[in-house]
Structure 1
């Protein structure tokens, strides 16, 4: 299956990408047809077709890319003694694309390396500049990977607005100016299979100047319809990369809480992983508001189950634990059918039902076998 979603000529890939691929490549196509400049900041870059398009564009000298670290591989077999362990190899996901783009004629590629798991360069945007004027920006959650295009629930939007495009272009230049350690290549030979190729680990974090400059909103600006307004927050926008119970509220989250506080009828949300167990994040805030205001409808979906509010009561001391492991509930609605709040976590039905095969929650090695069954 992995081969199918990587193959530009695959009918399966065409079906799964639907219109997202043509949408993601719009600004690349516009740059090629109109002769402008394109500024991109990307987190994951692994899709062969998109890499090929970027390579072609980079050869023109009119594409400028900031590419962050993505992926890591532990080359040590399970049980390897501590003194015999090889270092973990980082940036394994972006390694091939990075090498190819660096070798493109006139390429403008900046390596933005974070390898200590805490900060990641989670940017996914592109700014189109025509005649030295930023005119459009593409942003959203879509990763430039075959899984991002084919197997994940992502979003992507292009906004045709010079003011918003300039906000993003200025942010791109702030990222460029935020100096990070030089990428140190690393190759580790393994007993079986090809060597693991990537980069050495470091302890880099986004710098204080970048953090400080992001601690305010940009805008609002009135869009082309002369009615809608938009305001942009960029991250990181906190003094520290780590959060504690005493950490001050970030400005962007404070704005979100304010909007939630002023909700008249309902709060509807889709979120991935804002934090664990509803602590210090929108999940816990939504649950609190639902309890305080019985007239308020609160409903949403959460990708990562660990973000769900606590819904498991530990057995009392001396109480026998159940012999059969009971899966965590898929829906959190504390008052049952009388609840005005429902939070649904990503889940899958693992038992075949009639003609339906087990559902697939994530696109991993099992995907090939599942599609073969179908």
Structure 2
């Protein structure tokens, strides 16, 4: 008799990622797995249970309205799964309470027959947007009664929380749930132009709060600290609610605000070619003006230092605030990848972390002090190009040495700041004499080379083609060691491994730039975040409505996250901050990077986030790659998963196609 040999779950404050394996190659007659979330009390007794949501119907059935069922109706035909409704409710844009204690019960199921215990169907429903009446969920086609094929297997117990002392880690929901999001926005019968953006811009909006997750509460709680003073360094600042958070606390705030955004000066006369002069700081200008007005009031207690790189190729990319108590002792710091914009808070995949440790907060405050001393000459006017603006050599030299902090229970943290390379610009990626890595990247590469089983990452734009970055190093290691699991997702098409810039052919024709959607080889699976429509992939897939018109800009994934061996409690590593994990950040940008070793709970929280985002885009990337291969011969040779018709198998043949690789690693 086949059994589930082991089941494991990891989680953060938003989602759980489950993996399980079986003690044979296949479970005869298996149509998938029924998964139940169990809520536990302080004595680990079950107080409530809920089967996980599922949307994909069996062949011969249809779910045209994309209404949630659960695994008592449509089981999971994989050996790993994401519990996306751990905090987010499946039927409305509301969230469940945090700090719950849960585990998962998993059983293989097949078609009901004599001798099997039946799976009891749990009905699903939602409240209609217009009538406010409860509507029972239905689907088309004949139900397939299910019976249990194996005994129950249980995962480890999880605490669903942001708190992993001294870290409070949170992750935005962004617009990953595109299918659900489209349904929510369409409940009134239409999706208006700019409707999503309007929701995300509006403070207190129900959809904005839903997509921001715990990030907004963490920011608000941070500034609710009594007494003391805040010192911040920000890149982008255009969110109305977050600007108010700063102005409400201006009397105890010192802020270094960089420039962000550029465009044509609409008020200037065009030249003979019809072009208007370029201006800078287009995104931050309104917030800067509001803050400057407060700073000019001497009694306000607020100071603002403008850090304007305006068109030099350097950016003040930090997004951190450090808090000092009334005695002037640094106590806590807020950092991560989240820009202080409406899209950063609710429209992208981001992370935000508060660190309550004196030594780490002290390192950030010392860096902030160095930034303040490294004042840039300002252009006149402020939105003009600031020719020659660059960080000073003193700042760069000091940043070459990290701050190492021992924490409790053998955990350690290492804090790096950039730029930490001398000179005016980054050397070319391809040259006769390749440049040695900057010291912070050298450290990341060293840690990557020590990976024994897994490397996970999410990046936005570390470098063109991923060279001289975490992307190139991880792939190189995965190619040399095929037992290594290298899983990552990239946002910017130019950063994808295998990217080829446009080029002119000998016949004078131009070959456009080309970016693969997938790089898959041995244990490597790196994908590019891709929005899809049925038109782009040339076919409908099951009952999915592939009309992802809700994508906001190219920074779908804005995270900068690296996780190494998260299941090893002693050797696990997680790296996060504002640093994009490429040479340019170390040469050109104001950046921060936190590397934590030996903190398994934190590493697994970040790993769950990586796997969540990766899984969301993997199917989309594969579909896009298959379509692109048919159109672009130069993409040939990139392997992709076989096409899926979008429905569950009605036989046990799905097991032959299902991968056990991730489940084998996580349950290892």
Fold match by TM threshold 0.5: yes
Inter-partner Cα distance in structure 2 for 1:312 and 1:174: 39
2:297 is matched with: none
Distance 1:115 1:209, change over 3 A: same
Inter-partner Cα distance in structure 1 for 2:338 and 2:502: 38
Structure 1 SS opposite 2:486: strand
- The answer as to whether partners of 2:264 and 2:279 remain within 8 angstroms in 1 is yes
- The answer as to whether partners of 2:334 and 2:352 remain within 8 angstroms in 1 is yes
Distance 1:81 1:314, change over 3 A: closer
- Describe the superposition over 1:146-177 as per-residue Cα deviations: whole angstroms up to 9, x where unpaired: 11111011101001100000000000000000
- The answer as to whether partners of 1:111 and 1:183 remain within 8 angstroms in 2 is no
Higher relative contact order (CA 8 A, sep 6+): 2
Moved more, 244-253 or 150-159: 244-253
2:317 is matched with: 122
Matches within 5 A, 1:115-154: 115-130=310-325, 131-154=327-350
Structure 2 SS opposite 1:70: coil
Note the C-alpha offset of 1:185: 3.0
Structure 1 SS opposite 2:305: strand
Aligned length: 336
Distance 1:303 1:361, change over 3 A: farther
1:193 is matched with: none
1:86 is matched with: 276
Note if 1:340 corresponds to 2:523: yes
Structure 1 residue ranges, 4+ long, deviating more than 6 angstroms after superposition: 311-315
Distance 1:12 1:249, change over 3 A: same
Structure 2 SS opposite 1:185: coil
Distance 1:226 1:281, change over 3 A: same
Scaled by the length of structure 1, the TM-score of the pair is: 0.82
Inter-partner Cα distance in structure 2 for 1:326 and 1:263: 33
Note the C-alpha offset of 1:248: 2.6
Inter-partner Cα distance in structure 2 for 1:20 and 1:364: 21
Aligned partner of 1:75 among 246, 251, 265: 265
Note if 1:301 corresponds to 2:489: yes
2:236 is matched with: 44
Distance 1:63 1:17, change over 3 A: same
2:400 is matched with: 215
1:236 is matched with: 419
Distance 1:231 1:327, change over 3 A: closer
- The answer as to whether partners of 1:311 and 1:332 remain within 8 angstroms in 2 is no
Distance 1:260 1:66, change over 3 A: same
1:35 is matched with: 227
Note the C-alpha offset of 1:364: 5.0
Higher helix share: 1
Aligned partner of 2:249 among 27, 51, 57: 57
Inter-partner Cα distance in structure 2 for 1:271 and 1:282: 9
Tell me, which stretches of 5 or more residues in structure 1 are unaligned? 187-198, 366-374
- The answer as to whether partners of 2:311 and 2:385 remain within 8 angstroms in 1 is yes
- Describe the superposition over 1:272-329 as per-residue Cα deviations: whole angstroms up to 9, x where unpaired: 21111132222222222122222222111111121122167999x999x9xxx99854
Structure 1 SS opposite 2:419: coil
Structure 2 SS opposite 1:92: coil
Distance 1:9 1:292, change over 3 A: closer
Aligned partner of 2:289 among 99, 108, 116: 99
Aligned partner of 2:441 among 253, 264, 282: 253
Inter-partner Cα distance in structure 1 for 2:486 and 2:546: 32
- The answer as to whether partners of 1:346 and 1:361 remain within 8 angstroms in 2 is no
2:218 is matched with: 23
Distance 1:185 1:267, change over 3 A: same
- Describe the superposition over 1:165-205 as per-residue Cα deviations: whole angstroms up to 9, x where unpaired: 0000000000000020224336xxxxxxxxxxxx1111211
Distance 1:327 1:111, change over 3 A: closer
Matches within 5 A, 1:269-348: 269-310=457-498, 328-333=515-520, 335=521, 339-348=522-531
- The answer as to whether partners of 2:253 and 2:301 remain within 8 angstroms in 1 is no
Note the C-alpha offset of 1:362: 3.4
Inter-partner Cα distance in structure 1 for 2:379 and 2:340: 21
- Indicate the structure (1 or 2) with the bigger Cα radius of gyration: 2
Higher strand share: 2
Scaled by the length of structure 2, the TM-score of the pair is: 0.47
Matches within 5 A, 1:178-193: 178-185=374-381
Inter-partner Cα distance in structure 1 for 2:309 and 2:379: 10
Note if 1:201 corresponds to 2:201: no
Distance 1:178 1:351, change over 3 A: same
Distance 1:309 1:84, change over 3 A: closer
Inter-partner Cα distance in structure 1 for 2:515 and 2:420: 34
Tell me, which stretches of 5 or more residues in structure 2 are unaligned? 1-194, 295-299, 555-668
User: How well do the aligned residues superpose, as a CA RMSD in angstroms?
Assistant: 2.8
